[in-house]
Amino acid sequence: MTFDSQVTASQSDLQSLARSDGKQIKIGKGFSARSYSHTEFSGLMDPLVMVDHFVMTEPTFGTHAHAGLSAVTVMFEDSYGAFRNRDSLGNDLDLEPGDLYWFKAARGAIHNEQPRPGARTHALQVFVNLPADNRHDAPFAFHIPAAKAPRIAGDRSSARLVLGKSNGVIGASAPDVRLTLLDINIQAGGRFLHQGDGQQHAWILSIEGRSTARSSGAAIELQPGTAIALAGATDISISSELGAHVVLFRGHPLRETFVQRGPYAMGNEAELDAVEADYRAGRLGSID
């Protein structure tokens, strides 16, 4: 949703743990966000490119293009009202609290999201990288209503399994990139244990409250707005003395070189130039 300047990254496991408090962004009176980029995590955010944790109450971003990645909207349950989502694939639907919308832009497509009048959207916008072989696929999208996400009970905690699998429970599958997404709420004195694959990267963001993440004997304190990325972690435990809201992503790293320019991620500058030319020429479709 927020568009960074051009950056080139070659992703590799330079270390097993990285952390960031992100960058605060405000636009007008109706949009505030904390933004996290793959450049802050030494390759450990892979396959994620960027995450914005945002609140939007007024239309902020106009119609825009994406290419070479998937733009994923994750609605939190404390949102109210509807978040209108339109794209050049012909989709026009209202996202409700707890919903997910996965927009695989691939070779290029047009997108627009804005809250309905009176709505307050509390959500994540996640850019998920695509393997090089899938960057020029036809665009594709799918919607997961909140009611379709299984819930996993923990010790005075619970998690919505928005995508993937955890603790023997299987949820919806993401295209091209195997990704698990857990939306975790922990009560005072509670703990949630996620059993996962040590070959996957893990990316954890503290949404609200203080918590502690533990894996492989290490304990990492999380304050609201803190994000950490881990490699080599199997079981990950998250606990909180006073209660907390945390999200956890897991996915196999792509470890591919890519170039990001705003809402695009391609293999090289020439491909990015071609996408921008297609957008200017109207070849990525339209909404209106």
Answer yes or no: is 3 within a domain. Answer: no
User: Would you give per-residue pLDDT tens digits along the chain (288 residues)?
Assistant: 543 333 233 333 335 899 999 999 999 999 999 999 999 999 999 999 999 999 999 999 999 999 999 999 999 999 999 999 999 999 999 999 999 999 999 999 999 999 999 999 999 999 999 999 999 999 999 999 999 999 999 999 999 999 999 999 999 999 899 999 999 999 999 999 999 999 999 999 999 999 999 998 889 999 999 999 999 999 999 999 999 999 999 999 999 999 999 999 999 999 999 999 999 999 999 997
Distance of alpha carbon 33 from alpha carbon 119, whole angstroms: 16
Q: What are phi and psi of 135, to 5 degrees?
A: -70, -20
Answer yes or no: is 68 within a domain. Answer: yes
Q: How many independent structural domains does the chain possess?
A: 1
Distance of alpha carbon 242 from alpha carbon 190, whole angstroms: 8
Largest CA distance in the chain: 56
Answer yes or no: is 150 within a domain. Answer: yes
Answer yes or no: is 285 within a domain. Answer: no
- Give the model's pLDDT for residue 216: 83
Q: Looking at residue 106, which CATH number applies to its domain?
A: 2.60.120.10
Answer yes or no: is 21 within a domain. Answer: yes
- Give the model's pLDDT for residue 288: 73
Answer yes or no: is 236 within a domain. Answer: yes
Answer yes or no: is 2 within a domain. Answer: no
The answer to whether the beta carbons of residues 177 and 45 sit under 8 Å apart is: no
Expressed as residue numbers, the domain containing 55 is: 12-271
- With the C-alpha atoms ordered 173, 179, 180, 184, is the resulting torsion angle positive or negative? negative
Q: What is the CA radius of gyration of the chain?
A: 18
- Give the model's pLDDT for residue 11: 33
Answer yes or no: is 240 within a domain. Answer: yes
Tokens for 54, please give them. 């945002």
Kindly report the pTM of this predicted structure. Answer: 0.93
DSSP-derived letter for residue 280 is H
